[in-house]
Structure 1
Amino acid sequence: MLLAWLKPTRKDTLDGRRLTLQELYYKAALVQGNTKGILRCIRTQLSPGIPVTMVFVRHRSNKKEWLAIVCTDLSLSEEEIIRIYGIRWDIEVFFKCAKSLLRLQKEFQGRTNDLLISHTTIVFSRSILLAWQHRQSTDNRTLGGLFHLLCDEVSQLDWAVALHQLIQTQLQQWIADLPSYIKAYLPNLSCES
């Protein structure tokens, strides 16, 4: 499935005639209803004869302009085309940031496979940390909220009972994770109440 944004100078065919993207925009039918920025939609063909769906959406920063998105999967609705394009655009933005801001191409100039994999891993780890930090500072559903919910639940328990259960669970897990040759020397380890 091809999904791409087209520039206004592109020429495509409609009913055997070659039309510019601007001409296709005015030939396309208006999309009615709650469309979230979708202006028009048309089924047409690219110059080599490939059938496509073209969706024209409002430009976010300039409301007088529009953008054209073309899709070769004719079974998708206009909303689904926009959703998939949005996901793919996020990937493009990620790679642009990785190359320009996180120095994916410029920090190391090695040619070995191991160096390239290591450097890419470091850059992607930086991105993950930045995304995590951004989420921690902006999302109200982070661990702070979970901590407060847990505190409310635990406050109903007696602290001695809760601490005993926690220690017993952790000790049992630690014993279970020990290698078998160490467990042989510690046959009867248990946490008594």
Structure 2
Amino acid sequence: MKEINFKDTRGSSLFKIKDGSSIMLQALDNKPVSIVCRYIDERSFYLKSARFSFKEFARLVEQNSCIFYPEHGTAKTYEIYQICSDKGYDYIFMHYSFAKHQLHAKHYTKVYMGMMSEHSSLESIFYKHNLDYRPFAHKMRSLSVSDIIVINDHGKSKAYYVDSFGFKEVPQFMQQLNQIKYKEYAR
């Protein structure tokens, strides 16, 4: 049986599914939808009835802040959270040592979701989101100090504060984010 090998925009493998299986496709702040995929050849596939090259599909989901994963599985993804500049939080663009006592997930908005290959890193995400032609540039500012990157690695999530130099893991952000999501779900 043929396998469909999904790749990122750099050509790195993300995951494989069997021909005729489904992926879950999720846009920013929407629920995932299940879509059947069919193998055409090594360079292209059908997503429902639409034909895509793997490169074209990767570019499309990257530019539109979407993630996708096997219907019965997971993939490595990331999310970017930024402080709303009009809310008046005084630690926007500040280094971690200044922000650590006021940092709270409720001050942040999820502005981007993306796919990660095994070759992706925090540094490569930072680089990608600081290019002139960065993904979702019309909807979010470039990645900067005080932003949060959440890495979702096959069901395990970790949050990192973008600091002046490097990244600082912030487990309290994940705890706060999960509490916010739980309260929203309980409504």
Structure 2 length as normaliser, TM-score? 0.21
Q: Which has the higher helix share?
A: 1
Computing the radius of gyration from Cα coordinates, the structure with the larger value is: 1
Q: Which has the higher strand share?
A: 2
- Ranked by relative contact order (alpha carbons within 8 Å, sequence separation 6 or more), the top structure is 2
Structure 1 length as normaliser, TM-score? 0.20
